[in-house]
Structure 1
């Protein structure tokens, strides 16, 4: 993401004022939360703990994000940054393990933030579903 945004960043996602904070959140996501997310999502493969216990471990990071979102609409302020873009897909995965459970948890700001991203034009464009190409189909050119 960083390389791509260094080439072109029209939304200013690589905001230098919050770069260290963004890197710290992404690091916590990638090195702590992802571990618990994988075990929560695939608890049947990780029998050392119950799915609920894995979820609770993952919630430690959700609490951090909830705190960030209590005063501002995005993780690091009034505008989206690389932290929002980099972390959202993992929170989406966590939520989709059991949506009813996720939306019953005490994280209203995080839930709103996720819903806003799921309805955002960037996400909807990135998640456009295409039929698998087959021999004889017209060439598909993706927008740049």
Structure 2
């Protein structure tokens, strides 16, 4: 059986998994799913029912970071993994952990503020800006987050910053984060992102 990647085009977790797979050149069949009618064969292999899911001959990977690391283990020509730099690997892990926990929570509350009426949308945006400010500082002297080339951190975080931007693009592109704006724009203009966002027929 060939490798199957169950995905949903707009999901940031699925997005970063698709980009890592595309970058690695691994032979994987992409299956776009409808979140309202998930394929029975996907649910059989992964009962949790969320994407992305990578089905391999010998295992099923259900977390986007596991899929990304699998892809980079197949081929990592530009050393996204920073294989010979342990401090950088630690930085990558810490940035992704903060993105996937605190920032993701702030992003969800900002995007769906009506569901969290305890505070205003501006309040939730300000909470998310703590992370944006941190990224702006990291980009002060370079075009990528941790070094002068893309790493796993850039690709893992960019879909979430893109989603934060999408809540109020006018605010984002006028916000005091010019380095981050440039970083996101380069991501959106990249051939890798465009390739990962090609529409596929939905099952």
Task: Give the TM-score normalised by structure 2.
Answer: 0.63
Question: C-alpha root-mean-square deviation of aligned residues, in Å?
Answer: 1.1
Moved >6 Å (runs of 4+):
none
Unaligned stretches of 5+ residues in structure 2: 1-67
**1:41-120 to 2 correspondences below 5 Å:** 41-120=111-190
Residues 50-77 of structure 1 deviation map (CA, whole Å, 9 limit, x = unaligned): 1000000000000000000010110001
Unaligned stretches of 5+ residues in structure 1: 134-144
| Matched residue, 2:77 | 10
Distance (Å, rounded) in 1 between the aligned partners of 2:166 and 2:114 = 16
Highest relative contact order (Cα 8 Å, sep 6+), 1 or 2? 2
Task: Give the TM-score normalised by structure 1.
Answer: 0.88
* Residue 42 (structure 1) shift: 0.5
Distance (Å, rounded) in 2 between the aligned partners of 1:48 and 1:128 = 38
Distance (Å, rounded) in 2 between the aligned partners of 1:120 and 1:11 = 15
Number of aligned residue pairs: give it: 133
- Give the structure with the larger helix fraction: 1
